Structures are given as structure tokens and as C-alpha cells.
Amino acid sequence: MSGSRIILALDIPEREKALEIAQAVSPYISYIKINWPLVLGAGADIIRDLGKIKPVICDLKLADIPNTLRLIADEISKRSPFGVIAHAFVGSDCLKELVAYSSRMKVFAVVAMSHPGSSDIMDSQMDRLIDIARLSGVYGVVAPANKPGLLSRVRKMMPQTVIISPGSGAQGGDPLAGIKAGADFIIVGRSLYDAADPREAARQLLTVTS
């Protein structure tokens, strides 16, 4: 994984808008992350369509039993995404099943989240979630750039694992601080897709994070 350290998060439901923005910012990003709003609004084939612009990470935050994860992975993999995001709290058996079944796509596990409510349970259990992710053999983890203390701890505990980090921009995180704390890639959504000129906003962000 090299080049730009920016992942565009398209948390919008409109197909044409998503494609337009992705194309506009494509020179300045490495990956596109999509969530349920776009999958539900545009249909699952948006994964394949956006993948023609940049590799796609499906942020479905999967959290279910192994058999259900296999069924979801089978459908998602037909659209050739780069990766899929699952929750670590479901346990190592589930993540191991997803990793084993998803040889054609990378699995990322959520070990901490960027919203304030993550402190209710997840933040205090982060070390255990990291252990589960490590035991499961995931390719990468998700940890928040707007909580640099947590992010730094994830990096220390997982020095060789790819870390992708939400929470910059609209959620208050400093993208450069996130990188310094250990993020390999910064996930940015609203600061790009809601910008008056998404292409220029992405260009400026690339300058800051390079």
C-alpha cells in the first residue's frame, strides 16, 4: 500500500454523486470507502463501478455468526472490492472464518471508533479487541484519528498491521496528527464530499498528509 495516504469515505446514498466525486478526487486518493447508505441507495454493484476508479473498501462493519459472514462475503466478493470491514467484538471464530473465506479481499477489524459513544464500552476493551484481531490474522484494523492516544496504543500493539483511521475533519481530528500517531491511511468523508470543490479539497489534503 503506497502513494496517497487518503481514503475517501463516501457516506452518501446517491449513485451519480458518488461516482462524480470519486472521479474528481481520484488523483489524490488511494482508496474509496463506502458504507451502508451508498450500498442501500445505489445497489451493491456500486462496489464494482467505483472499483473502476479506485480500489473499494466496504465498510459494512460486519458483526454476525460465521455462517452469515460467509454468505455476506460471498455476495460482496462477487463485486471485487479491495477489502471489507468487520467488528472485532464478534470474536476470533467469526473473524477467522471471514479471513479464511475472503481470500480475494482484505479484512479489516474495528478495534475502536471515532464517535464519543465508543468510550461507553469499546475504548475500554480495545486491548482485548486488538488481541482478537491479531489472533484472527486480519490484514488491517480501524482505529480513530481523533483519539490519537488510542491510535498510538494500537500502533504500539500492532506495529506491522495496516491501520486505517476515521475521525479527521468533520469529527475534529487532525489528519497529520493521526498519521504521526500511527495511521497508515486517513479516512476523510464530509470534508471532501461536502466541500464546494472536492477535487481542490483533496489536493490540499494530500499536500498536508504527504
Contact 179, 5 (CB under 8 A): yes
Q: How confident is the model at residue 2 (pLDDT cuts 50, 70, 90)?
A: very low
For strands 56-62 and 106-110, give the pairing. Answer: unpaired
pLDDT in tens, 64-83: 999 999 999 999 999 999 99
What domains can you pick out in the chain, each with its CATH number?
Answer: 6-209 (3.20.20.70)
- Known catalytic membership, residue 52: no
**Crossing angle (nearest 10°) for helices 148-157 and 126-136:** 40
Residue the block writes with cell 462493519: 61
Q: How confident is the model at residue 152 (pLDDT cuts 50, 70, 90)?
A: very high
Cell of 188: 476523510
Q: What is the torsion angle, in degrees rounded to the nearest 10, for the CA atoms of residue 90, residue 124, residue 133 and residue 28?
A: 110
Residue 165 has pLDDT above 80, yes or no: yes
Residues 6+ apart with CB under 8 A from 40: 13
Per-residue pLDDT band at 24 (split at 50, 70, 90): very high
β-sheet bridge partners, residue 62: 86
- Rounded to two decimals, the pTM is 0.95
Q: Which residue among the candidates 52, 61, 96, 180 is catalytic per the annotation?
A: 61
Listed in sequence order, the residues at least 6 apart from 151 whose beta carbon sits closer than 8 Å to its beta carbon are 112, 143, 144, 145, 163, 165, 178, 181, 182, 183
> What would the 3-class secondary structure string for the chain be?
CCCCCEEEEECCCCHHHHHHHHHHHHHHCCEEEECHHHHHHHCCCHHHHHHCCCCEEEEEEECCCHHHHHHHHHHHHCCCCCEEEEEHHHCHHHHHHHHHHCCCCEEEEECCCCCHHHHHCCHHHHHHHHHHHHHHCCCEEECCCCCHHHHHHHHHHCCCCEEEECCEHHHCECHHHHHHHCCCEEEECHHHHCCCCHHHHHHHHHHHHC
CB burial readout 84-93, b (16+ within 10 A) else e: bbbbbbbbbe
The phi, psi pair for 83, rounded to 5°, reads -155, 175
Residue type at 156 in one-letter notation: K
Q: Mean pLDDT throughout 76-94?
A: 96
pLDDT of 169 higher than 50? yes
Q: Report pLDDT for 1.
A: 38
Q: Is the pLDDT of residue 143 over 50?
A: yes
Mean pLDDT of all residues in the chain? Answer: 94
